[in-house]
Each structure stands twice: as structure tokens, then as C-alpha cells.
Amino acid sequence: MEGWIRVGLGEDAALSKGGPAPGPGSLEIPGPPAGYARGGALAHAAPALRGAVARAAESALELLSPTRCCGCERLGPLVCDRCLGELTLIDPAHACLRCGAPYGDIVCTECAGGGAADEPRAGGADDAAIARCLAMATYEGPLPRIVRAYKDAGERRLARLLAEMLLDCALHAELAAPERYGGILSTADAVCFVPATAAAFRRRGFDHMEQVARPLAEMAGVPLDDVLLKHGARDQRAYGRAGRRAAAQGLYEVVHGLEGMRVLLVDDVVTTGATMGAAAGALRRAGAARVDALALARVWGG
């Protein structure tokens, strides 16, 4: 269970510089399901001139402030091969279907109610709204640094790399565990994302998951549906575990109906599952026939 994340290989990989086309060696998963044009959306992306201007600007920026790995600070690509290799990938054949935790097989101990009595379970009222949850890796090693570099340090070039990670994760799960995660992306009618709070949006200047979900949807050939709205509220990280669940309840609404649609909901980090559950609940109430969840990371252990 290692090595299937193949994004960002080598210093010249387009991903490391935000260029238009993935180079050879990137994104290699044998035999993707029919219907996926991997990299196809990128192959004819930017007109030559725009590409040249962008490259010149990037070169100038690169001289002033050379790219360092967001995981380990080494000079080189945005995320180096070593840090990619240190991701603790979750095996989709043994993940908890309900929350994406590793070693769940069917449902993990938290979802099965094995947690401390005074803490809400990862499962809860709205968790039934999520048909299947898939997370790429546990939230440890270089991954927290990479996520923080993107969300808090403004390294927006990571958006595309994170999208490719999610794509690789979903395609791998569809191939490696078809009886569990089959069609999670390839049969989705829409990709949705958990929207940022208004405060987070103001602070960062961008909706971090929208910027990841958009290229993911493009690469997968699935429409992006920016359907969820989030009301106010403080940054979720400011809450404790129980408060987080309460805060997440009822914070989402949708801007149009989703009758009969199969939706893939993406977010960055699953902690208790409260956020994903609340967003998925709103999607289901809007008529979605199925809501699956896909995340970069699942907080597990510790």
C-alpha cells in the first residue's frame, strides 16, 4: 500500500511550477477507467503567449524567492518526492467507509461507538447522509505542513497538486477496492466542495477548497457544482471536538435543488466528520440521491 501518489515528480514537473501540462511521469495509474481523460483537460490549456508570459513571471519570481518543498523546506518542487513518499496513505480496501479512517474494514471503532462516552462519535445525526467516505492519508508526517502552507501561508500553487492527489486517491480506490469505492468519482454527477466561512474567505482571499475542487472536476470530466453556502461561524479549528459538531449543524444550505444527483463532496481534512456530515446532510435534503465524501486527510490517533 504505497507509491500510488505520483504527482509532482521531479523539478521539471509542470505541477511544481503551476504550468499547463503534466510532464511524463506524472499522474501514472495503470488503466484508469474509461471516461477519464487524465491530463486531457490540461494538454491544450493555455495559449502559447499566455504560457510564455506566465513562465517569464514565474522565472522572475523563482529568482527572487526559489520554490521550496512545503513539507520539508528543501529547494525544489512544491512537494518533493521524499515528502510524497512519507505520506501515510490509507488503504481503501480497509478504510472505514463511514469516516475514511484507516483500518476500519467496515466501520472504525469511533464510528461503531467505541470512543470515550463524553465525546460525540465520529458518526452522528448527519453522518448517515454520507454514503462512503474516502480519505487519502492520515493527517501526519508532511501532510499537515502541506495543508497549512496552502490554507494559511497562501501557497496557492498547491491547489492543483492537491487536486491531483485527490484524483489519484479516488481513481486508485475505484481500481483497488471496486466493491467498496467503485464509481465514487467516475459515476458522480457533480463535484461539490465544503465552502469556506466568510471569515476564512476574507482572511485567505480565496475559497481554498473551491480552488482544489475545480481542477479535480476538470480532470475527472465531472461538472463542478458550487452549490453549498456556509453561514458565518468562527473557524472550525477554534472549537473543541463537541463544539465543532454543534457549530457545524445547520450551517450549510444549498442554492439549488439536486434531485436524484450523485454528488462527490470534497474537503481537506476530516477530523470528527461533523463538517462533512453537515454539508452532506444539506445536499441530501436538497434531493441528492447519493453523497460520497473525499478528503485529503483523516485525523486518526493522537
Interface contacts to Zn ion, rule CB under 5 A = 69, 71-72, 80, 83, 96, 98-99, 101, 108, 111
H-helix or E-strand spanning residue 288:
none
Closest CB to Zn ion among residues 111, 291: 111
Distance CA 137, CA 79 (A): 15
Q: How far is the CB of 38 from Zn ion (least distance, A)?
A: 24
Q: Is 45 helix (H, G, I), strand (E, B) or coil?
A: coil
Q: How far is the CB of 169 from Zn ion (least distance, A)?
A: 17
Closest CB to Zn ion among residues 124, 281: 124
Q: Is 222 helix (H, G, I), strand (E, B) or coil?
A: coil
Q: How far is the CB of 260 from Zn ion (least distance, A)?
A: 27
Closest CB to Zn ion among residues 72, 93: 72
Closest CB to Zn ion among residues 83, 163: 83
Query: Among 89, 251, 76, which Cα is nearest to 168's?
Result: 89
Q: How far is the CB of 21 from Zn ion (least distance, A)?
A: 23
Distance CA 49, CA 46 (A): 8
The three cell numbers locating residue 196: 469556506
Q: How far is the CB of 146 from Zn ion (least distance, A)?
A: 9
Closest CB to Zn ion among residues 99, 254: 99
Closest CB to Zn ion among residues 71, 281: 71
- What one-character DSSP code corresponds to residue 236? G
Closest CB to Zn ion among residues 46, 112: 112
Closest CB to Zn ion among residues 152, 253: 152
Distance CA 146, CA 180 (A): 28
Q: Is 294 helix (H, G, I), strand (E, B) or coil?
A: strand
Which residues is 254 bridged to in the sheet? Answer: 228
Q: How far is the CB of 48 from Zn ion (least distance, A)?
A: 32
Q: DSSP states of 88-146 as a string?
A: -B--TTTS-TTT--TT-TTS-TTTTT-S-TTS--S--GGGGG-S-EEEEEES-TTHHHH
Q: How far is the CB of 70 from Zn ion (least distance, A)?
A: 7
CA distances to 58, 68, 76, 155 from 82, rounded to whole Å, are: 24, 13, 11, 19
Q: How far is the CB of 17 from Zn ion (least distance, A)?
A: 16
Which residue type occupies 185?
A: L
Question: How far is residue 300 CA from its own chain's centroid?
Answer: 16
Do residues 268 and 208 make contact, with C-beta atoms less than 8 angstroms apart?
A: yes
